[in-house]
Chain A
Amino acid sequence: MTGTARVTHTGARGQSVESPALALLEDVNRDLASSFDLDETLQRTMDRVMQHLHVEAASIFLQDEQDHTLVCQRSTGPVDVTGTRVGPGEGIVGLVVATGQAIMVEDAQHHPGFAPQVDTRSGLITRSLLCVPLQTRGTCLGALELINRLGDDGPFTPADLDLASAVAAAAALAIQNMRMVRELLEQERVRKEIELARDIQLSLLPAPNPGLAVTGFNLPARRVSGDFYDFQRRPDGRVHVSVADVAGKGMDAALLMTRTISLLRCLSKAVPDPSSLLEQINAELYETVSRGLFVTLLAGILDPDTGELVYANAGHHPPLLRLGPGRYECLSVQAPPLGVLPVLGVPNQRLSLARGPCYFYTDGVTEARDGSGAPLGVGGLLDLLEQVEPLPLSERLPTLVEALRVQQRRFHDDLTLLGLAPEVFDEPLLALEFQAEPRRLKTLRRELSLALHAQKLSAKGRESFIVAVNEACMNIMQHAYGHSRPGMINLDLRRIGDRLDLLIVDHAPPVDHQRIGPRDLADLRPGGLGTHFIQSAVDEWQYGHLAEARGNTLRMRKKLEED
């Protein structure tokens, strides 16, 4: 290890410290501390040392931060060797950097570490040599090399070594500081760019519009978000709504999200049908998305007058539809996310929001964890939705997120919520709640017959509708509740637009609806006719589940006759 302290006490050849050596060190230190142009300062430092010690040539080598070769940063002398590269550990410079030990020799040609190729290239004959490491905080950044002491002063002395070491230490500190400043500036530049990206992302989210019956909330986990929501009113009064989540949450996710938004905004003007819209966006993304990135997207079109939502779902969480107090339907995923398969095969699904609001969410919500690491889950989200239900739509989502903060939940992922609540809550034609027991069926049929009396249906249409509802309730009694204690059945019949819309809810364990289908009538056997009756009686029917496996749903729709 080279010393640096002694130079202030004893000069070369026993001279007083009131020598030019101290003056030199002062000048060098002042220069290095005040200058912002490192290269120029290093050059001046070298020139000063050369002059003071009377040497023929000097150079500063710095280690390349990428490949660790040593590059000559500055050189002074008869030949300019700036830019010369030396491999790690190669030559005397390489040795000094590798070991952190200074080398001082009278005749370099006979030193085992000497690499004659630099001499050959430069034409300079190296005789005496002093090379000290540029070290700071245990890291060696490079070396200062002094070649051929001139005149009658003889070879380099220990005092020269001390002086060179002191200069090298000051230079190393300056180089290190300069690098840190550069790094900070770079970080600041990146931070500003991310800030700009965040601003652009925020500007892409729609402005709140209380007239639309749609509200959204987005909270990025980092500065930029891989989540997105949108709502845009079309000229015909209907509203495009969407929620999306890109796999990942960094800059790449944010960029892919921006691309998806652009496609969505652009294509939705010409393609109102959600299924076709998702297919087209998928085709575009499939061509270009790589590295395992994908997007889940739920997009729909809402008619605020009727409360009807037609939507298509590419791999996103099912929307949660409120059917009544504490009862939310969870409508299952129908297709893979965007960017994975060339064709999605995603169907349109139809929802009526006449009975209550509908919420879209991303998993940042359900994965918000409390102090013990337990995620909120869909059940927790439903509880919070129920809490905010009495509030006006625009206040529900911010209040819900505030409740998550009060619970001291940590947000690991971007969090997005979208709420849809058109005010079309007409009174139902019939709302019944009854025990799932066969003896209740007769009353059900009578009530239904009365409720349908004033509706525009043929006698046959009315009769077959009653048969269908009866069969559906029988199925619940026989299959959903089965042998367990019969629970309740909720029935809600409404007129929505030009259709009858019936919702039947049970609270039995989830039924695998894939296994329920109309039987082949040619196959003559008792039983299994119920589903066929339902299919024959209505225009549309659809099974579903309550969220959190709290029950099953069946919807039937039948078009009314025209006036």
Chain B
Amino acid sequence: MEFNLITKEGFSVVELSGDVDLSCSAAARETILRSLASGQPTLVDLSAVTYIDSSGVASLVEGYQVARRKHLEFGLLKVSEAVRSVLELAHLDRVFKIHDSLEDRLAQG
């Protein structure tokens, strides 16, 4: 499983999709860390994620921590319902900056 990493409007966007579980969370983590290593502010697009487990959530948490150390922006885009309920369960819905869309983020300036 490979995930897309694209650049849009000065942001590096990681596009996760499908079931982000133990079978592919290592690839998700690797893509997120690669994005941050390039020094770009990073947004993780979760609109196409149908399921996320704790290993998938862990890769998001790790991205958040690495970005903070590097003083880089890190946020989530278009969080699907499946992902939102898991983030709530882990009390992480208020930790991450969550945007409805890239435009929404850009509008904030």
* Residues of A with C-beta under 8 A to B57: 529
- By size class, the interface of chain B is 20 to 34
- The answer to whether the Cβ of B90 comes within 8 Å of any Cβ in the partner chain is yes
* Residues of B with C-beta under 8 A to A471: 53-54
- The answer to whether the Cβ of B72 comes within 8 Å of any Cβ in the partner chain is no
Binds A, one of B5-13, B15-23, B41-49: B15-23
Kindly report which residue of chain B lies nearest to residue A526, judged by CB atoms. B58
Q: Determine if A529 and B90 form an interchain contact, defined as CB atoms under 8 angstroms apart.
A: yes
Q: Please report the C-alpha to C-alpha distance between residue A532 and residue B32 in the assembled complex, in whole angstroms.
A: 24
* Residues of B with C-beta under 8 A to A524: 61, 64-65, 95
Our pick among A438, A478, A526, A532 for the contact of B61 (Cβ within 8 Å) is A526
- The contact sample of 14 A-B pairs, CB cut-off 8 A, is A438-B21, A445-B19, A471-B53, A474-B54, A477-B22, A521-B91, A524-B64, A526-B61, A529-B54, A529-B58, A532-B89, A533-B86, A533-B89, A533-B90
- The answer to whether the Cβ of A110 comes within 8 Å of any Cβ in the partner chain is no
Kindly report which residue of chain A lies nearest to residue B21, judged by CB atoms. A441
- The answer to whether the Cβ of B51 comes within 8 Å of any Cβ in the partner chain is yes
Kindly report which residue of chain A lies nearest to residue B54, judged by CB atoms. A529
Q: Determine if A521 and B21 form an interchain contact, defined as CB atoms under 8 angstroms apart.
A: no
- The answer to whether the Cβ of B85 comes within 8 Å of any Cβ in the partner chain is yes
Q: Is the interface of B mostly helix, strand, loop or mixed?
A: helix
- The answer to whether the Cβ of A291 comes within 8 Å of any Cβ in the partner chain is no
| Residues of B near any A CB (own CB < 8 A) | 19, 21-23, 51, 53-55, 57-59, 61-62, 64-65, 82, 85-86, 89-91, 95
Most buried by A among B21, B57, B58: B21
Q: Determine if A536 and B22 form an interchain contact, defined as CB atoms under 8 angstroms apart.
A: no
Kindly report which residue of chain A lies nearest to residue B60, judged by CB atoms. A526
**15 additional contacts (CB under 8 A) given A464-B85, A474-B21, A525-B65:** A439-B23, A442-B19, A463-B82, A467-B53, A467-B86, A477-B22, A478-B22, A521-B90, A524-B61, A524-B64, A524-B65, A529-B58, A529-B90, A533-B54, A533-B86
Q: Please report the C-alpha to C-alpha distance between residue A532 and residue B54 in the assembled complex, in whole angstroms.
A: 10
Top 6 closest pairs, chain A to chain B, by CB: A526-B58, A438-B23, A529-B54, A438-B22, A526-B62, A526-B61
Q: Please report the C-alpha to C-alpha distance between residue A466 and residue B21 in the assembled complex, in whole angstroms.
A: 13
Q: Is the interface of A mostly helix, strand, loop or mixed?
A: helix
Instruction: Report the minimum CB–CB distance from A16 to chain B (whole Å).
Output: 118
- By size class, the interface of chain A is 20 to 34
Kindly supply a per-residue 1/0 record for chain A positions 490-531, scoring 1 wherever the CB is within 8 Å of any chain B CB and 0 otherwise. Answer: 000000000000000000000000000000010011110110
Q: Determine if A442 and B21 form an interchain contact, defined as CB atoms under 8 angstroms apart.
A: yes
Instruction: Report the minimum CB–CB distance from A443 to chain B (whole Å).
Output: 11
Most buried by A among B61, B64, B82: B61
Kindly supply a per-residue 1/0 record for chain A positions 415-440, scoring 1 wherever the CB is within 8 Å of any chain B CB and 0 otherwise. Answer: 00000000000000000000000110
